[in-house]
């Protein structure tokens, strides 16, 4: 991985604990509160940061800084190793070490689990192109077969990628029959939590209720996960989640303009199906606080507030009213909670349409399991869409900065964000206005993977990552 040593990679970012599942959760970066205190509300691009200006791609795929290159693979509609087809609408994604049968990690291979945000309204392919594909499929591994041989087309695909040769070695369907799998999160168990961004109920179209979280193991050969929803985590329009490696608590976002931030306290941190408690975030100084800043600066950067949690009931929410009941009980309201990642001893998450110009916000939540007093902080709220527009999926980089995928910008970009709130460009989509999604680094830190949602493919980006800020 160039001159970034393995030790440097492990110690520079707290994302190690969750960004590279299976590695020790104790390898964490120290607190950066003093840096965050210097954050300006109006973040700007800094030419001395990052990797330099973006260079137009002669092939019209992605503009990258000088010295970087990419490989494109796993396109929508391709036949996979299990005989099914790569679904469309590539979305969030997690990277995992490739674990051999003897328990050792293969340094050259990375396992990727990728979401597919498909619903009926999306005119895109699913894993089943023909009725014969369904006839030979194990229906016990299909969450919702739908009505009249029309199963839900979402789910996840798993890929094995060789970072030494920069080639895709295999890919297959790993969760089937779910609906609109948008984002999710890595767990300390080498699994991926995939979230349904819908609240559809069984009826004329569906045989099952939707709006749940499912868990998918990071297998190294074709296998389908048991399609079992984790119902105690709530039924709502899920987006992303992340796990505190110290406690096993899972934090969750809700992609609605009046959504909440949730956390799930499992009875057994190694078995999320064993039940638990679902809670919603509350800002202590103002119950039912509106964080969206649409009409006023209700909350400003650099001003952390104490936060607590409200326990929710009827979490399967047959009326899809969980966010209303939570808000009326005192929970805070957020503007389209989307990407979420654990790092720097805290939870970072995006509110895609927050701020006066609806350009988005990034928040930081600092849980304190010892005192029980958590702190919430508005990390950045750009005023200028040319700087950052509608942050969506996020992840931590090996050098400790956030990587942010823009949603709805024209054209969308990937933006690096330092812990002092300065921004720099990493990539720009040159093939239409389809969003980037699922940015995540390989287990060895050499490769940045990211999806282009439409027409649907995955990119592996390599280059001098050690050049950051030089």
Question: How far is the CA of 155 from the CAs of 61, 172, 201, in angstroms?
Answer: 26, 11, 17
Q: Supply φ then ψ for residue 90, to 5 degrees.
A: -60, 130
- Tell me the percentage of the chain whose pLDDT exceeds 90: 81
- Tell me the percentage of the chain whose pLDDT exceeds 70: 89
Token digits of residue 22: 């299976």
Instruction: Report the alpha-carbon distance of residue 75 to residue 381 in Å, rounded.
Output: 34
Confidence of residue 123 (pLDDT cuts 50, 70, 90): low
Pairing label, strands 181-186, 191-196: antiparallel
On the question of a cis peptide bond just before residue 455, with omega within 30 degrees of 0, the verdict is yes
What is the pLDDT of the chain when averaged over all its residues? Answer: 89
Q: Encode pLDDT of 140-190 as tens digits.
A: 999 999 988 789 999 999 999 999 999 999 999 999 999 999 999 999 999
Output the pLDDT for position 97.
Answer: 97
What average pLDDT does this structure show over 219-226? Answer: 97
DSSP annotation string for 4-65: --HHHHHHH-THHHHHSTTS-TT--PPP-HHHHTT--SS--B-TTSTT--EE--TTSSEEEE
456 touches 93 (CB < 8 A) = no
pLDDT above 60 (res 21): no
Question: Which span out of 11-20, 283-292, 460-469 was modeled with the highest average pLDDT?
Answer: 283-292
**3-state secondary structure at position 191:** strand
Please report where in the chains the tokens 């607590």 appear, as a residue: 308
Torsion of CA 298, 184, 236, 328, to 10 degrees: -30
DSSP annotation string for 91-104: EEEEEEEEE-TTSP
Spell out the domain ranges in the chain. 1-76+395-470
Token digits of residue 442: 């390989």
Output the pLDDT for position 45.
Answer: 56
- Which pTM value belongs to this model? 0.91
403 touches 397 (CB < 8 A) = yes
252 touches 233 (CB < 8 A) = yes
Token digits of residue 166: 């920069």
Confidence of residue 130 (pLDDT cuts 50, 70, 90): confident
Confidence of residue 137 (pLDDT cuts 50, 70, 90): confident
What average pLDDT does this structure show over 204-217? Answer: 96
Q: How remote is the C-alpha of 250 from its chain's centroid?
A: 13
DSSP annotation string for 64-78: EETT-EEEEE--TT-
Q: How remote is the C-alpha of 392 from its chain's centroid?
A: 8
3-state DSSP helix/strand/coil % of the chain, to nearest 5: 10, 40, 55
Buried b (16+ CB within 10 A) or exposed e, 339-367: bbbbbbbbbbbbbbbbbeebbbbbbbbbb
Output the pLDDT for position 12.
Answer: 36
Instruction: Report the alpha-carbon distance of residue 413 to residue 382 in Å, rounded.
Output: 15
Q: Encode pLDDT of 383-400 as tens digits.
A: 999 999 999 999 999 999
22 touches 346 (CB < 8 A) = no
Confidence of residue 47 (pLDDT cuts 50, 70, 90): low
pLDDT above 60 (res 18): no
Output the pLDDT for position 381.
Answer: 96
What average pLDDT does this structure show over 120-139? Answer: 81
């Amino acid at each position: 991985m160039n001159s970034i040593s393995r030790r440097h990679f492990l110690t520079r970012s707290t994302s190690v604990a969750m960004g590279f599942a299976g590695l020790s959760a104790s390898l964490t970066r120290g607190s950066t509160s003093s840096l965050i205190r210097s954050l300006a509300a109006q973040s700007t691009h800094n030419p001395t940061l990052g990797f330099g200006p973006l260079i137009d791609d002669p092939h019209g795929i992605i503009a990258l800084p000088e010295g970087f290159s990419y490989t494109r693979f796993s396109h929508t509609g391709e036949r996979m190793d299990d005989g099914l087809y790569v679904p469309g609408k590539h979305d969030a994604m997690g990277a995992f070490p490739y674990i051999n049968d003897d328990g050792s990690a293969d340094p050259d291979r990375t396992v990727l689990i990728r979401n597919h945000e498909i619903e009926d309204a999306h005119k895109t392919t699913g894993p089943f192109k023909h009725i014969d594909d369904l006839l030979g499929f194990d229906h016990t591994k299909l969450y919702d077969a739908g009505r009249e041989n029309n199963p839900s087309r979402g789910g996840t695909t798993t890929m094995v990628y060789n970072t030494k040769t920069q080639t895709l070695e295999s890919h297959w369907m790993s969760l089937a029959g779910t609906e609109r799998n948008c984002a999710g999160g890595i767990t300390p168990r080498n699994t991926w939590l995939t979230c349904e961004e819908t609240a559809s109920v069984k009826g004329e179209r569906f045989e099952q209720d939707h709006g749940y979280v499912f868990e998918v193991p990071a297998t190294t050969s074709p296998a389908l996960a048991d399609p079992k929803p984790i119902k105690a985590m709530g039924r709502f329009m899920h987006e992303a989640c992340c796990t505190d490696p110290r406690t096993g608590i899972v934090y969750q976002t809700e992609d609605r303009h009046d959504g909440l931030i949730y956390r799930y306290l499992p009875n057994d941190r190694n078995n999320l199906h064993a039940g638990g408690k679902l809670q919603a975030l509350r800002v202590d100084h103002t119950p039912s606080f509106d964080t969206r800043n649409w009409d006023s600066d209700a909350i400003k950067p650099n001003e952390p507030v104490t936060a607590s949690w409200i326990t929710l009931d009827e979490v399967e929410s047959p009326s899809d009213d969980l966010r209303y009941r939570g808000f009326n009980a005192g929970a805070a309201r957020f503007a389209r909670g989307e990407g979420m990642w654990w790092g720097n001893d805290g939870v970072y998450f995006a509110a895609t349409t927050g701020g006066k110009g609806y350009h988005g916000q990034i928040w930081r939540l600092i849980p304190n399991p010892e005192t029980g007093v958590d702190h919430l902080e508005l990390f950045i709220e750009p005023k200028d869409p040319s700087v950052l527009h509608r942050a969506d999926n996020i992840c931590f980089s090996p050098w400790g900065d956030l990587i942010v995928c823009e949603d709805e910008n024209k054209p969308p970009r990937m933006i690096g964000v330092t812990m002092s709130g300065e921004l720099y460009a990493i990539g720009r989509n040159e093939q239409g206005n389809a969003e980037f999604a699922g940015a995540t680094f390989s287990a060895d830190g050499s490769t940045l993977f990211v999806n282009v949602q439409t027409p649907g493919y995955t990119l592996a980006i390599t280059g001098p990552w050690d050049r950051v800020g030089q």
